């Protein structure tokens, strides 16, 4: 394991540095191959933006022969056409939702892209370490600000007003952040490397950061990923 400790500053709601948190991980010297980062981020983006290809099939979309099932007369049975007709089992749907369906586009992008769990973790940690090295990662002790004016003041004080993702825990987010543009609010259970890399900077609540980092440090064995 990596036994080096990284100190990360904690800010209060006024943007003042009040303490620091110790992370049992060397965030200054953790690197991952760019090929791995590209592969994981591409897969996460594809899974987040999958094509909604659900639709009913009309008769032109049903596979099967167009041959007449039996002759028109002299069988004693009702006249029948193709097995693809709407009244046949497995046939078409007459009055259904078709939408704007692009079969070629859906065939290429509808598949869910699997990601190795280990790669997902190390890429997430790599993104956070990169944010930390570039002074773009901040931890705030409390995000329960119900006044938009106070929320804007906090973001400007720590220089995160232009483009930022805010990661909060379940009970620690005020309504003051809802009206601010250029920010993305993410729950601690939904954040991943793709979300963390979308904005220039990222702000965590203290509880969310501790939970995420504890899980990552436990699951990542420090090796040479350079």
Domain total of the chain? 2
**Range with the lowest mean pLDDT among 66-75, 96-105, 114-123, 130-139?**
96-105
Question: Quick one: 33 and 56 in the same domain?
Answer: no
**Among candidate residues 86, 111, 136, the one where a domain is terminated:** 111
Question: Quick one: 69 and 41 in the same domain?
Answer: no
Question: Quick one: 150 and 100 in the same domain?
Answer: no
- Mean pLDDT of all residues in 190-208: 91
Residue 57 maps to a domain: yes
**Among candidate residues 111, 139, 157, the one where a domain is terminated:** 111
Whether 225 shows a pLDDT value over 50: the answer reads no
**Among candidate residues 59, 92, 111, the one where a domain is terminated:** 111
- Give the Cα separation of 195 and 181 in Å (integer): 16
Whole-number average pLDDT of the chain: 84
pLDDT, position 56: 82
Question: Quick one: 74 and 179 in the same domain?
Answer: no
- Mean pLDDT of all residues in 197-211: 92
Question: Quick one: 185 and 167 in the same domain?
Answer: yes
- The verdict on pTM exceeding 0.75 is no
Inter-residue contact 164 to 155 (CB < 8 Å): yes
Question: Quick one: 189 and 131 in the same domain?
Answer: yes
Q: What is the 3-state secondary structure (H, E, C) of the chain?
A: CCCCCEEEEEECCCCCEEEEEEECCCCCCCCCCHHHHHHHHHHHHHHHCCCCCCCCCCCCCCCCCCCCCCCCCCCCCCCCCCCCCCCCCCCCCCCCCCCCCCHHHHHHHCCCCCCCHHHHHHHHHHHHHHHHHCCCEEEECCCCCCCHHHHHHHHHHCCCCCCEEEEECCCCCCHHHCCCCCEEEEECCCCCHHHHHHCCEEEEEHHHHHHHHHHHHHHCCCCCCC
- Its sign, for the CA torsion 40, 42, 48, 52, is negative
For residue 212, what are the domain limits? Answer: 6-50+113-219
Question: Quick one: 119 and 176 in the same domain?
Answer: yes
């Amino acid at each position: 394991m990596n036994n080096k400790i990284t100190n990360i500053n904690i800010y209060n709601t006024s943007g003042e540095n009040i303490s620091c948190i110790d992370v049992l991980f060397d965030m200054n010297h953790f690197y991952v191959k760019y090929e791995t980062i590209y592969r994981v981020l591409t897969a996460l983006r594809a899974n987040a933006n999958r094509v909604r290809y659900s639709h009913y099939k009309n008769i032109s979309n049903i596979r099967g022969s167009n041959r007449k099932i039996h002759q028109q007369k002299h069988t004693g049975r009702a006249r029948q056409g193709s097995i693809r007709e709407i009244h046949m089992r497995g046939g078409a749907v007459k009055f259904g939702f078709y939408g704007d369906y692009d079969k070629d586009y859906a065939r290429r992008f509808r598949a869910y892209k699997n990601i190795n769990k280990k790669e997902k973790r190390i890429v997430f940690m790599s993104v956070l370490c990169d944010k930390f090295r570039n002074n773009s990662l901040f931890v705030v002790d409390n995000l329960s600000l119900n006044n938009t004016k106070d929320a804007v003041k906090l973001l400007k004080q720590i220089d995160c007003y232009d483009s930022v993702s805010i990661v909060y825990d379940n009970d620690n987010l005020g309504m003051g952040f809802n009206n601010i543009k250029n920010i993305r609010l993410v729950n601690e259970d939904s954040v991943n490397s793709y979300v963390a890399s979308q904005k220039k900077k990222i702000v965590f609540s203290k509880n969310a950061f501790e939970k995420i980092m504890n899980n990552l440090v436990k699951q990542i064995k420090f090796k040479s990923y350079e």
